[in-house]
Chain A
Amino acid sequence: MSPKKLSLKEKYSLLTRDLEWEYSYRDYKEIFPQEEFEGIKITDWSKWEDPFRLTMDAYWKYQAEKEKKLYAIFDAFAQNNGQLNVADARYVNAVKLFLTGVSPLEYQAYSGFAQVGRQFGGVGARVACQMQSLDELRHVQTQIHAMSHYNKFFDGLSEFNHMHDRVWYLSVPKSFFDDARSAGPFEYMVAIGFSFEYVLTNLLFVPFMSGAAYNGDMATVTFGFSAQSDEARHMTLGLEIIKFLLEQHPDNVPIVQRWINKWFWRGTRVLTLVAMMMDYMLPNRVMSWKEAFEVYFEEAGGALFKDLARYGIEMPVYAETAIAEKEHLSHQAWSIFYNYTHAAAFHTWMPNEREMDWLSEKYPNTFDRYYRARFEHWREMERAGERFYNPTLPMLCQTCQIPMGFTEMDNPTLIAYRQSVFQGERYNFCSDGCKDIFDHEPQKYVQSWLPVHQIFQGNCGGAEMEDVLAGYYRMNLGTDNLDFHGSPDEQRWNHWHNLQTAAEQMKKAS
């Protein structure tokens, strides 16, 4: 007689909650030493509601099916020379930014969820973190595979992981995750699980994937579809952690509110990179950054925080500044990268006339008034053979590590300067948000590895910029960096398409 088959409910219980056991010969605090130090109070882990009803064997099965479909498309993309079908070669710079700036974060998330999952006394939270951890590992792998095809045809992709740990602008997303991972397990969950994966994910993930869809990048958009059900699970986990913490004890509310304030601001600063990608790097634009911010933060986030009000949670304290900045963020970010493209592993360019008009239309309050004259001047310098590059290293914010290119929202042509003095030393910031984060935990942020200061200290390969860029960063100078116009990427692209045309002509003639 064959053994009785388990019902779904029995199986779920046996393969998740039943993995727990009574701790009989060791103290609970010894087993979970990180559960209390952040001040969070958990009274009853059994109140945790599993955000997804999934067992490990079902997880493997679903993921394997998705993987099969995904890799079939990758193969087809490669065999059909899919790289020739993107909107134009400028688009690939968005891929470079994603692979160097975002994919390594997936790896950090994998590691982070594995580590904090171990620290929770509740088995439900542990299982959920384990699955998210595996998802994140899957995402970094599949992203690398999706984009590796471009590495055969375009510059700037080959050292993405090395660069993530060293290059000045990549220290922005890297330090964001380092900050979360060096916090306690509950702060990590609010930072990454809630603020990033729930509140801000639609402003990171969706723009890159819909950008890929609009610009003929079949490989990346297929990755996006394949990751969608994973991302939906991550959002449920993010929401569950918040509700669970707020329902466990009223003392948790002010701690959680402070974390939401902090991580909303840290997150919006990282999203600066996405803002400029949407408005400047996509040849076929999806929507403006401003429109995306209105839909995904102001409307969707507004509804979320209305819902959380019953716990005593309010909108993040810097939300108003972020809302005002939606009119400026992408233009200021693109200015930073246009200034320093000689030190970046992707290309920048000035928008063409049609693209400038699109920016004027999408940003009627700001583009013509503050940015158009600057961009036209840069374009004239380029036409005169003197493409502008900033010859001096920029000042960075101590907290977010972005060059200090953000302005006062009541005076948008004046750089915002904030300063604190801690133990007799000055620290400088781009915003109230970044200053407040430092002031709350200065002992943490005095350790910021600021790329410009590290260069000055002689820790980045040498005193000459070439030592830093070619040696320490491993950039191929003259190919990975500088303006798109005149780049080998552009030359190859034109060459391929002329070749195609020539081949077609031959065919017709015969």
Chain B
Amino acid sequence: MAVAAITDNYAGERLDRVENFHGNQVIYIGWDYHLMFCAPVAFAISPDTPFDRLLEELIPGAYSQHPEFERIDWDSVQWILNGEAFTPELDASLAAQGIDHKSILRFNTPGLGGIQGSGS
């Protein structure tokens, strides 16, 4: 709906347009049922980044303090992109597989229920 405003056709400036991120885009990553990390995490990275780099750098950098991190079986991880099941192509770029600006990429690690099974 339109904003009730004192001027006609009021429009706001979109503060987080992808052009404002100096060639990067924002992506969010969340590890389901591991709330020791209180919220999903945010990165500003190039849309040309291959998916591999998430696995090798960004995800370990964000989550390796968790005692279950070492036990993740990456072959059985279930990925969810913006709410839909997703199968990543490791060599392809984020942009090439539809991981666009402000996308949410979640991963679920079956068998790992967080600290003492508490979802933490």
A interface residues (Cβ-Cβ under 8 A, vs B): 33-34, 37-39, 184, 187, 332, 335-336, 338-340, 369-374, 377-378, 381, 386, 388, 390-396, 403-405, 407, 412-415, 417, 419, 423, 425-428, 439-441, 443-450, 452-453, 456-458
Shortest beta-carbon distance from B69 to chain A in Å: 13
> Which chain A residue lies CB-closest to B119?
A413
- Determine if B85 is an interface residue (Cβ-Cβ < 8 Å): no
Q: Which residues of B contact A381 (CB under 8 A)?
A: 65
| Interfacial chain A residues near B101, Cβ < 8 Å | 425-426
Interface residues contributed by chain B, number (CB under 8 Å): 53
| Neighbouring A residues of B28 by C-beta, 8 Å | 395, 428
A425 touches B119 (CB 8 A): no
Q: A415 touching B39 by the CB < 8 A rule?
A: yes
CA of A332 to CA of B36, assembled, Å: 10
**In the complex, are the beta carbons of B82 and A426 less than 8 A apart?**
yes
In chain B, positions 10-33 with a C-beta closer than 8 Å to chain A are 10-18, 20-22, 24, 26, 28, 30, 32-33
Is there an interface contact between A457 and B21, defined as CB atoms closer than 8 Å? yes
Q: Which of these binds chain A: B1-9, B46-54, B70-78, B87-95?
A: B1-9
Chain A residues whose C-beta falls within 8 Å of the C-beta of B20 in the assembled complex? 457
B96 contacts the other chain (CB 8 A) = no
Q: Are B41 and A377 in contact (CB under 8 A)?
A: no
- Contact yes or no, B13 A446, CB < 8 A: yes
A443 / chain B contacts, CB cutoff of 8 Å: 2-3, 10-12
Q: Is the CB of B115 within 8 A of A373?
A: yes
User: Given A403-B39, A414-B32, 5 more contacts at CB 8 Å?
Assistant: A391-B65, A393-B41, A413-B35, A414-B33, A443-B3
List B contacts of A458 (CB < 8 A). 22
Which residues of A lie under 8 Å from residue B35 when comparing CB positions?
A: 335, 374, 405, 407, 413, 415
**Would A449 and B15 be within 8 Å (CB), given that A184-B4, A369-B118, A457-B21 are in contact?**
yes
When distances are taken between beta carbons in the complex, the residues of chain A under 8 Å from B2 are 441, 443
Q: Give the distance in Å from the alpha carbon of A423 to the alpha carbon of B103 in the complex.
A: 15
The residue that B14 contacts in the complex, of A386, A412, A425, with Cβ under 8 A, is A425
A443 → chain B closest CB, angstroms: 5
Complex-state Cα separation, A371 to B83, whole angstroms: 26
The answer to whether B3 touches A413, judged by C-beta atoms less than 8 angstroms apart, is no
Indicate which residue in A336, A388, A425, A452 contacts B65 across the interface (CB closer than 8 Å): A388
For B15, list chain A residues within 8 Å (CB).
446-450, 453
B20 to chain A, nearest CB (A): 5
Give, as a whole number of angstroms, the nearest-CB distance from A376 to chain B: 8
Chain A residues closer than 8 Å to B114, beta-carbon distance: 373-374, 413
Q: A443-B11, A446-B12 are in contact. Are A395 and B39 (CB under 8 A)?
A: yes
* Residue from B26, B36, B102 within 8 A of A388 (CB atoms): B36
Contact (Cβ within 8 A) A405 B38: yes
23 CB contacts below 8 A, A to B, read A332-B38, A336-B39, A338-B38, A339-B37, A371-B118, A371-B120, A374-B115, A374-B120, A377-B67, A388-B36, A390-B41, A391-B62, A394-B42, A395-B28, A403-B39, A404-B39, A441-B4, A444-B12, A446-B16, A447-B14, A450-B16, A457-B21, A457-B22
- Give B9's nearest chain A residue, CB to CB: A443
| Nearest CB of chain A from residue B96's CB, rounded to whole Å | 18
